[in-house]
């Protein structure tokens, strides 16, 4: 019996269902149910909330989310070998867990849920970053989700929360911080996973803001930030040359020194630049 529910320990579940970890699916499982319950708590109050979990695997985090009181969990898993183990959890929590056998990148799982919605995932890192960008760029803002609680490789987590002037600061930081509050809430060593990955990991919690911190057209802001960081070592007057005919005076009007480099410029100034360029 585990600490959080009456289901068997995860090692037993994995052995019984022969869920040897597959590298191609980025399978590094968390087997400590106290740790998965802790991650579920970091997602915030789950009472009355629909939770989307991507990549449940053998279900450690899923069990944490259900034990922490989620109204309903939709778990999207690509590996069919995990489905019988997840069905056992569904049986222990009648009507609260739905499992979808799918590639999360190929569907829109949010369409299956009702607000309020929180998203929680321990995913392969490349899939996590792609989904993060999708969830941060919906057609309308605020998005349908309230918060994202996602495990990343530590270096990616640092890029999400980075501030101007640091090596890690770039497109991901600006995208995340423009319309959400992003914080690293937990750091984990490789040994927290089975098998252990090569790198350290961190959980990032992002809360959607009701409105962007500074007004800007999303497409223009994205274009400016992409151009600025594609040549991050160059002065902005060169890096942004192709963006507008007289970029130097637009930079000055936005309060930015044309000789500055992208990594020195904060969100507010990038938004001011995007507004002038839109005009
Ligand atoms: N959540 C479990 C845990 O914390 O122990 C498993 C985490 S493991 C790092 C990632 C899980 O995501 C695996 O179960 C893997 O099969 C699944 N997965 C990988 N790519 C996926 C995709 N594109 N869509 C849905 N699930 C995926």
Closest CA to 150 of 51, 20, 267, 24: 51
Asked if residue 202 has pLDDT above 70, the reply is yes
Whether 128 lines ligand 1, by a CB cut-off of 6 Å, is: no
Q: Measured between alpha carbons, how far is residue 107 from residues 103, 134, 150, 183, 236 in Å?
A: 7, 12, 19, 27, 38
pLDDT tens digit sequence for 93-135 = 999 999 999 999 999 999 999 999 999 999 998 899 999 999 9
Whether 27 lines ligand 1, by a CB cut-off of 6 Å, is: yes
Asked if residue 2 has pLDDT above 70, the reply is no
Identify whether residues 137 and 106 lie together within a single domain.
yes
Residue 36 lies in a domain: yes
Asked if residue 136 has pLDDT above 50, the reply is yes
The per-residue pLDDT for 12 is 98
Residue nearest to atom 18 of ligand 1 (CA): 55
Identify whether residues 104 and 131 lie together within a single domain.
yes
Mutate to test the pocket of ligand 1, among 13, 17, 25 (most ligand atoms within 8 A of CB): 25
pLDDT tens digit sequence for 141-186 = 999 999 999 999 999 999 999 999 999 999 999 999 999 999 999 9
The per-residue pLDDT for 126 is 85
Mean pLDDT of the chain: 97
Helix (H) or strand (E) holding 206: strand 201-208
Question: What is the distance between the alpha carbons of residues 234 and 228, in angstroms, rounded to a whole number?
Answer: 8
Which residue, 184, 208, 232, sits at the end of a domain? 208
Residues of the domain holding 47: 10-208
* Cβ 173 vs Cβ 213: under 8 Å: no
Question: What is the distance between the alpha carbons of residues 66 and 199, in angstroms, rounded to a whole number?
Answer: 29
- Radius of gyration of the chain, Cα coordinates, nearest whole angstrom: 21
Residue nearest to atom 5 of ligand 1 (CA): 29
Whether 64 lines ligand 1, by a CB cut-off of 6 Å, is: no
Query: Which atom of ligand 1 lies nearest, measured to the CA of 76?
Result: 25
- Grouping H, G, I as helix, E, B as strand and the rest as coil, residue 113 is coil
Residue 20 φ/ψ, nearest 5 degrees: -65, 135
pLDDT tens digit sequence for 206-241 = 999 999 999 999 999 999 999 999 999 999 999 999
What is the number of domains present in the chain? 2
Whether 100 lines ligand 1, by a CB cut-off of 6 Å, is: no
Question: What is the distance between the alpha carbons of residues 153 and 168, in angstroms, rounded to a whole number?
Answer: 13
Identify whether residues 248 and 200 lie together within a single domain.
no
Residue 63 lies in a domain: yes
Residue nearest to atom 14 of ligand 1 (CA): 57
Identify whether residues 146 and 29 lie together within a single domain.
yes
Whether 55 lines ligand 1, by a CB cut-off of 6 Å, is: yes
Asked if residue 279 has pLDDT above 90, the reply is no
The per-residue pLDDT for 60 is 98
Which residue, 208, 232, 260, sits at the end of a domain? 208
The per-residue pLDDT for 69 is 97
Closest CA to 233 of 261, 267, 258, 259: 261
Q: How confident is the model at residue 1 (pLDDT cuts 50, 70, 90)?
A: very low
Mutate to test the pocket of ligand 1, among 19, 20, 26 (most ligand atoms within 8 A of CB): 26
Question: What is the distance between the alpha carbons of residues 270 and 164, in angstroms, rounded to a whole number?
Answer: 11
pLDDT tens digit sequence for 18-41 = 999 999 999 999 999 999 999 999
Burial 111-133 (b: 16+ CB within 10 A, else e): eebeebbbbbbbbbbebbbebbe
CATH number at residue 247: 1.10.8.100
Which residue, 157, 180, 208, sits at the end of a domain? 208
* Cβ 260 vs Cβ 233: under 8 Å: no
């Amino acid at each position: 019996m585990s600490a959080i529910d009456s289901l068997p320990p995860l090692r037993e579940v994995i052995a019984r269902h022969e869920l040897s970890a597959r590298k191609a699916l980025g399978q590094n499982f968390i087997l400590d149910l106290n740790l998965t319950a802790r991650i579920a708590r970091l997602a915030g109050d789950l009472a009355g909330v629909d939770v989307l979990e991507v990549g449940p695997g053998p279900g450690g985090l899923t069990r944490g989310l259900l034990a922490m009181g989620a109204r309903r969990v939709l778990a999207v898993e690509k590996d069919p070998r995990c489905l019988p183990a997840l069905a056992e959890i569904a049986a222990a929590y009648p009507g609260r867990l739905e499992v979808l056998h799918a590639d999360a990148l190929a569907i829109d799982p949010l369409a299956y849920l009702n607000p309020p919605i929180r998203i929680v995932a321990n995913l392969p890192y490349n899939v996590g970053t792609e989904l993060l960008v999708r969830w941060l760029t919906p057609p309308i803002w605020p998005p349908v989700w309230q918060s994202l609680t996602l495990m990343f490789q530590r270096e990616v987590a640092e890029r999400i929360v980075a501030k101007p002037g640091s090596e890690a600061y770039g497109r991901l930081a600006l995208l995340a911080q423009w319309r959400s509050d992003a914080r690293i809430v937990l750091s984990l060593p490789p040994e927290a996973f089975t098998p252990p990955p090569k790198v350290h990991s961190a959980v990032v919690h992002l809360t959607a803001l009701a409105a962007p911190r500074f007004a800007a057209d999303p497409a223009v802001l994205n274009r400016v930030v992409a151009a600025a960081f594609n040549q991050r070592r160059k002065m902005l007057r060169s890096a942004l040359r192709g963006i507008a005919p007289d970029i130097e005076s637009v930079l000055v009007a936005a309060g930015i020194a044309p000789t500055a480099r992208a990594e020195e410029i904060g969100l507010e100034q990038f938004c001011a630049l995007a507004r002038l360029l839109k005009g």
